[in-house]
Structure 1
Amino acid sequence: MGLLPERSLPPEAATNEPDEIPGDVAQRVLIWRRFKRNKLAVFGALLLCGLVLISVFSEFLSPSTPYAYDAERTHAPPQRLHFVDTDDGFELGMYVYDYRVERDEETYANTYEVDESAKVPVGLFVQGQAYRMWGLFPMDRHLIGAKDPDTEVYFLGADRNGRDMASRIIHGTRVSMSIGLAGVALSFVLGVVLGGLSGYFGGRTDNYVQRVIEFLMSIPTIPLWMGLSAAVPRDWGAIQTYFAITVILSLIGWTDLARVVRGRFLSLRQEDFVTAARLDGCRTGRVIGRHMLPSFTSHIIASLTLAVPFMILAETSLSFLGLGLQQPVVSWGVLLQEAQNIHSISGAPWVLLPGVAVTVAVLVLNFVGDGIRDAADPYK
């Protein structure tokens, strides 16, 4: 019998190694697939992207500037946006009805009635109040608003000074969301560094760090906020106060993350790959940053996502109590200060709408955080 001709293998079959699929890429793909199966988390992620876009382009998206006021429209009710005009046939076009304003002679409060004979045309990319985009570029175009630059529309009503609530809530999104993200960033640095040192070295270092954490966690939250906020000089400007409140929230919010990092480091420092890195001559910083932290990065991301709502609620509470940001800064907490007056709430319930924005933001961030935590769980 003759020998069978030798068959050559294709290049991809010449080796037993699989195609080039790095482990970290495969893990990200697996986490993404798990995350997509959580419909509530995906819905929350979409809303979170919307909040981020509102924060970035708040000047353009708002119908007016947050400081423009009309003394004749104090506590003006919301104006309903219409899309079809059926009075003169069938005509497409956005508009709102104007008000008929009357002043009560006894209380001097304005009463409003819808005047269907006066229509205010509304358009997209209209010219309105001038502003500076991101404080740099002068512009006067707004995504939506009255076509007449001298006319104001109130889709969500007006406050006691006749300022548009929709514009103020949109601008408040930037401040409240950025404080949450900036505060979490600082808390991440403090929590990872102090928690990592505590768990990695143990002994006296662990004892000292844990006693500081226990002391901070034993103090009631609101009195601690009040004490730290009282230390902020009242003559500071808006930017200085903003950074001071961010630092205050970070000094309080790092303890939970530090506890988590410390527990993980205590369990990881005895693992074989950590011992191998030490024997290989790696310094402490490299062992922690290149070998130990990446092993539970997904858990840290989930913890940070769930910490952002705490920061937003903390800023809102401080500003609501008059201890945080103050006028002329516009945040959700500052806007809710007007809701402290029961007469304002009874006559103008739309002043509570910033509270709705806070609730939506907190729920969205919790949905996303829970989805990331479940998707990154290796035992699921």
Structure 2
Amino acid sequence: MAWRRFARSRTGIFGGVILALLYLVALAAQFLAPYDITTQHRAVYQPPQPVRVWREGRPRWPFTYAMKQDRDPVTFRRIFVPDLEQPLPIRLFVKGETYRFLGLFATDRHLFGAVGGDYYPLGTDRFGRDLLSRMLVGSQVSLTVGLIGILISFSIGILVGGLSGYYGGWIDQVLQRLIEVLLSFPRIPILLALATVIPTTWPSTYVYMGIVAVLALIGWAGLARVVRGQVLAVREMEFVTAARALGARDLKIVVRHVVPNLMSYLVVAATLALPGYILGESALSFLGLGVKEPMTSWGLLLKDAQNFESLRLYPWLLAPGAMIIVSVLAFNFVGDALRDAADVRSR
């Protein structure tokens, strides 16, 4: 069975576990985040505060030190240094800013936080906003844009490719010429052009859905062509011919006989296509054409690290890029394992 072959793939299982963790984190992002993503603190560009377990020569409950501002004696640049006289114990299930857990009920409990001061595990940005909180909440946009985009683009691709392959004739000719026209456009320029059409006055939610639509509209043509080829092969098989001879309607034949034979390919294709949507949204947001404040995404967070000076002075701003790399690699691991498991010739 395909599942048994997939279960023997260590990289596939590893990627699946990573993806499961990422989506669980995205689901409970507000609970895991220490602060609201719009809360601005006085500590602008504060570096991460490491967790410590050793103080005064003996082990302690996890804590961190508060940070205080100082001047670099050489460059006279403002810097943050640990205040060794002010340890901050780290506690679980602490009270903080109010949010709606899973959108169901209001609560002010967060997974962790520091008692007696502010705690920024991954530092702050140029407005003093907690980077970890923004990364956690931003995962909701970056990880769901692919799922919704795949749902839209695959629906269009399966419909167009299925009609083209099943009926053939002039329908096939018209649809294939349309697909060829769409595939003739370079992907990146057309993506940027369509993204600029989205009005800047739209609310953040509308902009998010607009980005999903743009990514989906340029992603269905290649799938439709592959689906057409597979439907052409399936429709000539004996069980389809027999169903047609017995008077079965086209819709019933497609649903009961054609689509099930495409499922293994569609699952693999969807898994391998998801990283493209994550990278596409991240690229648009990085260039200022994607989601806008007050929403956030990994690509939008990387926008603060566009120049060398920021990277040199504030390297923690690259943390969202690490999340993009991890998620893309995890999807590729799962996709490769699924493709190998579904490949009949490799059995």
**TM-score normalized by the length of structure 1:** 0.87
Question: Is the 1:187–1:251 Cα contact (8 Å) retained in structure 2?
Answer: yes
Instruction: Identify the residue that residue 247 of structure 2 maps to in structure 1.
Output: 281
Letter aligned with residue 129 of structure 2: R
* Deviation digits for residues 56-91 of structure 1 (CA, Å, limit 9, x no counterpart): 1100011222112212x1111111112x3331x534
Instruction: Identify the residue that residue 94 of structure 1 maps to in structure 2.
Output: 62
1:92 CA drift (Å)? 3.5
Instruction: Identify the residue that residue 92 of structure 2 maps to in structure 1.
Output: 124
Superposition misfits of 4+ residues, deviation over 6 angstroms:
104-108
User: What is the root-mean-square deviation in Å for CA atoms of aligned residues?
Assistant: 1.8
Instruction: Identify the residue that residue 191 of structure 2 maps to in structure 1.
Output: 225
Instruction: Identify the residue that residue 101 of structure 2 maps to in structure 1.
Output: 133
* 1:131 counterpart SS class: strand
Higher Rg? 1
Higher relative CO (CA 8 A, sep ≥ 6), structure 1 or 2? 2
* Deviation digits for residues 327-351 of structure 1 (CA, Å, limit 9, x no counterpart): 1111011111111133221110111
Letter aligned with residue 39 of structure 1: R
Counterpart CA distance in 1 for 2:26 and 2:154 is: 22
Question: Is the 1:48–1:364 Cα contact (8 Å) retained in structure 2?
Answer: yes
| Structure 2: runs of 5+ lacking an equivalent | none
Instruction: Identify the residue that residue 151 of structure 2 maps to in structure 1.
Output: 185
Does the alignment pair 1:350 with 2:316?
yes
Letter aligned with residue 41 of structure 2: D
Match of residue 161, structure 1, among 114, 119, 127: 127
Counterpart CA distance in 1 for 2:105 and 2:222 is: 41
Counterpart CA distance in 1 for 2:249 and 2:60 is: 70
Instruction: Identify the residue that residue 8 of structure 2 maps to in structure 1.
Output: 37
Counterpart CA distance in 2 for 1:244 and 1:107 is: 46
* 1:152 counterpart SS class: coil
* 1:126 counterpart SS class: strand
* Deviation digits for residues 154-188 of structure 1 (CA, Å, limit 9, x no counterpart): 11111111111111111111111011110001111
Match of residue 243, structure 1, among 209, 231, 236: 209
* Deviation digits for residues 18-62 of structure 1 (CA, Å, limit 9, x no counterpart): xxxxxxxxxxxx222111110011000000000110111100011
Does the alignment pair 1:115 with 2:83?
yes
1:311 CA drift (Å)? 0.5
Question: Is the 1:64–1:145 Cα contact (8 Å) retained in structure 2?
Answer: no
| Structure 1: runs of 5+ lacking an equivalent | 1-29
Question: Is the 1:121–1:146 Cα contact (8 Å) retained in structure 2?
Answer: yes
| Residues 1:201 and 1:99: Cα distance change in structure 2 (over 3 Å) | same
Letter aligned with residue 77 of structure 1: P
Counterpart CA distance in 2 for 1:340 and 1:138 is: 37
Does the alignment pair 1:50 with 2:16?
no
1:212 CA drift (Å)? 1.7
Deviates more, 1:128-137 or 1:278-287: 128-137
* Deviation digits for residues 79-113 of structure 1 (CA, Å, limit 9, x no counterpart): 1112x3331x5344111112121267999953111
- Percent sequence identity over aligned pairs: 43
Aligned 1:1-380 pairs, distance under 5 A: 30-71=1-42, 73-82=43-52, 84-87=53-56, 90-102=58-70, 110-148=78-116, 151-379=117-345, 380=347
Counterpart CA distance in 1 for 2:73 and 2:198 is: 44
Count of aligned residue pairs for this structure pair: 346
* Deviation digits for residues 210-258 of structure 1 (CA, Å, limit 9, x no counterpart): 2222222221222211221122111110111111111111101112221
Counterpart CA distance in 1 for 2:334 and 2:221 is: 22
